[in-house]
Structure 1
Amino acid sequence: MGYFDSRVFAVTGAASGIGRELAIQLAQSGAALALADISSDPLEVTAAECRGFGADVTATALDVTDRAAVAAFAADTVARFGRVDGVVNNAGVLFSGDVVASDYADLEHVVNVDFWGVVNGTKEFLPHIMKSDRGRIVNLSSAFGLMAAPGYSAYNAAKFAVRGFTESLRQEMESAGNRVKVTCVYPGGVRTSIARTARTAVGVDRADVVESFEQRIARTDPADAARTILRGVERGRPRVLVGPDARVVDVATRVLGPAYQWLLPAAKRLASR
């Protein structure tokens, strides 16, 4: 039997993309699942597919920025299954626009979902997961949590924050001798709907953003991404790079240091000529 067999895992953002594939593969591996997403109808589709593999599944409509709702989700998961062994804080949104053109509300929305949603899920589930013999906290950052890019300041800020928060938590668990393993995940471009559902600043060509993401950036299949993530989680790795682009970004930032910040603006200027 593998690690996930008979474990209880909670997954946010489970209605689509990476979250959906994580839920399906966890179900196929024998895990019981507490699934959550702000989009209830597609979430029910994911839950039904997971039940088709024999998994015991709950589905909860959830806004991860609502701390009280996340607390209730964690409490309900433990009440329903008797315990919880891991949580995957996967829910996320994207926003595109230069700082000068961006509204505060849009910037706050990204940080609230992508960072505070992770903090909420971690804080509410952690006390329960610490009771597991081999607990797991899995937080989704991004390749943009390793390298910043122009036009994505709020997304970069949130994903860099997830990285720091998660690395600190892992050290806390290690220092305390707790068996909870904490993993930070850095996906590159994955073929999901995140660009199509993203907000954009005034003046940004939304269609161009979607085309650029889907045609030139999103190379990794969500199912492949989920397999890579779960393999790393099972092994308790501190971080998981998803896709060749994430690995390139990781190497580039290590080798170039702050000098990488000259590359993307130069490429953008060349492309506009």
Structure 2
Amino acid sequence: MMRFFLDCLLLLPLLLVFSLESLLKLFIPKKRKSVTGEIVLITGAGHGIGRQTAYEFAKLKTKLVLWDINKHGIEETAAECRRLGAKTHTYVVDCSKREDIYTSAKKVKTEVGDVGILINNAGVVYTSDLFATEDPQIEKTFEVNVLAHFWTTKAFLPAMMSNNHGHIVTVASAAGHIAVPYLMAYCSSKFAAVGFHQTLTEELNAYGKNGIKTSCLCPNFINTGFIKNPSTSLGPTLEPEEVVNKLMKGILTEQKMIFVPSFINLLTVLQRIFPERFLSLLKRKINVQFDAVVGYKDKAQ
């Protein structure tokens, strides 16, 4: 143990150098990489963040592969992407089903090619407490919000590793860092999604595959209609376009963790160092609210 602490002390000069380097980078705009010609696969592309992200990649001369369970929604997205000049392929995929993902992935490889940018965006949310969230809803939350990331990544990562080139994006949430009452299944799944991103990043480093980049998006409430009447004292509900602008900047500058708004990052740090009683008061001031079903009241009667 003593040897470990001595080794850590020897790292302090590097800590100072790297901290100064990070500070300087805040004032030097990072060059955005080119994604022209890349095959970009987006899950949950028929609505909200997935749709807006597809539009932005369409403008960058990429080849798009759009997945969604909603055929009408995905065709609407595809039509606009084609109007923007992107060659676009659509697949109706249920991301809660592993075999559906694997089967669709094989079709993509045969019909389109090797995916270079994978955006795991599909998600579900149920605004209810533990008792009001039905067992199948809990299972589906994890199947779509977490397990689907494993299946898509296992399907498309091997080709990226062969080329040591690619980018895997995990769309998580601020709720993957800060717990919120009446979103137990959702928060738990998003905590898992953040863990997936962080561990995947470390595993790629262990493989020595530094050409494969990873990013994780963690926004506050977004105006997509999935959560009814959301509000906090941190500011207005975010619009999809605002979030996607930050997401695209993060992907193109290879940012690991993308918080929207950025001060969410500060809150994640504060909750690790502040006393619990103070954090409880702080959360009351933040005042997170939305329409939710509370089944505990029925159980208590």
Which band: TM-score by shorter chain? 0.7 to 0.9
Pair 1:184 & 2:216 matched: yes
Give the Å deviation of 1:212. Answer: 3.0
Residue correspondence of structure 1 range 168-207 to structure 2 within 5 A? 168-178=199-209, 179-195=211-227
CA spacing shift, 1:213–1:66, aligned 2, 3 Å = farther
Counterpart of 2:225, as a letter, is: S
Match of 1:262 among 280, 285, 297: 280
% of aligned pairs identical?
Answer: 28
Counterpart of 1:39, as a letter, is: N
Give the Å deviation of 1:130. Answer: 2.1
Residue number in structure 2 paired with 1:205: none
CA spacing shift, 1:132–1:49, aligned 2, 3 Å = farther
Pair 1:54 & 2:72 matched: no
TM-score (structure 1 length as normaliser): 0.84
Q: Distance in 1 between matches of 2:232 and 2:285?
A: 19
Residue correspondence of structure 1 range 1-273 to structure 2 within 5 A? 2-178=33-209, 179-195=211-227, 210-212=228-230, 219-244=237-262, 246-247=264-265, 249-256=267-274, 262-263=280-281, 266=284
C-alpha distance after superposition, 1:196-245 (max 9, x if no partner)? xxxxxxxxxxxxxx123599976222122112112111222221112256
Q: Distance in 2 between matches of 1:260 and 1:215?
A: 17
* SS of residue in 2 equivalent to 1:147: coil
Q: Which runs of 5+ in 1 are unaligned?
A: 196-209
* SS of residue in 1 equivalent to 2:170: strand
The number of aligned residues is 256
C-alpha distance after superposition, 1:98-119 (max 9, x if no partner)? 2233322221121111111222
Q: Distance in 2 between matches of 1:240 and 1:44?
A: 29
Verify the 8 A CA contact 1:11 1:19 in the aligned structure 2: yes
CA spacing shift, 1:216–1:242, aligned 2, 3 Å = closer
* SS of residue in 2 equivalent to 1:99: coil
Counterpart of 2:258, as a letter, is: V
Which entry has the higher C-alpha Rg, 1 or 2? 2
Q: Distance in 1 between matches of 2:275 and 2:199?
A: 22
CA spacing shift, 1:218–1:42, aligned 2, 3 Å = farther
Verify the 8 A CA contact 1:19 1:90 in the aligned structure 2: yes
Give the Å deviation of 1:171. Answer: 0.6
* SS of residue in 1 equivalent to 2:131: helix
* SS of residue in 2 equivalent to 1:183: strand
C-alpha distance after superposition, 1:174-208 (max 9, x if no partner)? 1111111121211111221222xxxxxxxxxxxxx
Q: Greater shift after overlay, 241-250 or 61-70?
A: 241-250
* SS of residue in 2 equivalent to 1:100: coil
Verify the 8 A CA contact 2:230 2:237 in the aligned structure 1: no
Give the Å deviation of 1:253. Answer: 2.8
Verify the 8 A CA contact 1:189 1:217 in the aligned structure 2: no
Q: Which runs of 5+ in 2 are unaligned?
A: 1-31, 290-301
* SS of residue in 2 equivalent to 1:18: helix
CA spacing shift, 1:114–1:47, aligned 2, 3 Å = same
CA spacing shift, 1:232–1:259, aligned 2, 3 Å = farther
Give the Å deviation of 1:4. Answer: 1.6
